[in-house]
Structure 1
């Protein structure tokens, strides 16, 4: 929009060259404006960050209680998660309240998901990033049970994913965790292909395209522009490291 306005003003004041200058200045402003909005909606980035955190901690509480009780491992992980996000005392208290709210026996996740979709869900990227983060959180205590998987499937449907899409995201994320530091896998090469969401028979071009798409999804600038809180960008970096490790393993196997 601003590139057109800039071109018109430039032409009126300076003629043809002014129109070109105005067009490029307006284009630059449009790009900056879209980055600030995450290309998603006109709400402020701070508000989107607040909603993102509320959704994460509320659904984290729901996941922790999915099997009927909250384990010490899940409590410890929540504490470690808050430390990783470098939360202030006030922020920690708010996060704990969200966690407790989500873990309530009658809490309906549709409320927080509806607000997330209204505020942050206007891109195809951010709902998937949220779902991947929730899968990683569910895996944190080392026990991924049927109740957690069923809840994640319900959350995925409410986020707008089909059951097939959820299964693909889940399998890809589960296999990406096999490439975290200190992790090993008996079928590492097969897991690497699954981590990238491609078949072993895929071409080099298809492999590279899948890899680049996943890496772009967790690019820090992209996540920040869409409203992911700064300190949660580190989780995105961890995902990219796992994706990179899987990709490098496949490349080495194909070069051999």
Structure 2
């Protein structure tokens, strides 16, 4: 295992006071490594810089990529769920490309996940939004396994959320199943959005944005709604997102 602070302390101590300095410097460096929990030069640099070095959106898709890969391979349902999150955030083309790149990097994990999460301790709204999206990804291919659950619980701990809150967020995704998928009826998707086959793309987009705004679970969370109401709103939002994805693909607009 590589400990950058320890090596840095050894070198600095040796330069200042030969062997005794190296021993003291190595000891102090090891204390720094253990306290910051870093194992790479990049990780040490990020800690010393202070402040988030990865944006909320980038961190989200890093986390989703890690979850998607934890079962060994990424399934089509994982990709669809990542796309649904992009739709939920209403990302433009440039932001979508960045999200896809972060999703790919996230599959390899890395300590940047821990650093990014720990830097968001105390930012409750951001923390809960990240974990709620993670639970949705965990349910993308069926009931989450122990690996997914343990990973999300660990992330919640790093974010400073209680286990009770983490489990409450899980309820917002546990019963979430897309009511419309590419294999289902195009007509059904149109009904979900409240549009017709002749509706213009801009009208469909407006209908989608209005429905998401009306049913978004984050609003209920801010109002202190019960976990059951939040779960129902999450399910409805995902239904709307899946319907919009299908209609958009069928009609060929972005």
In the superposition, the TM-score normalised over structure 2's length comes to: 0.46
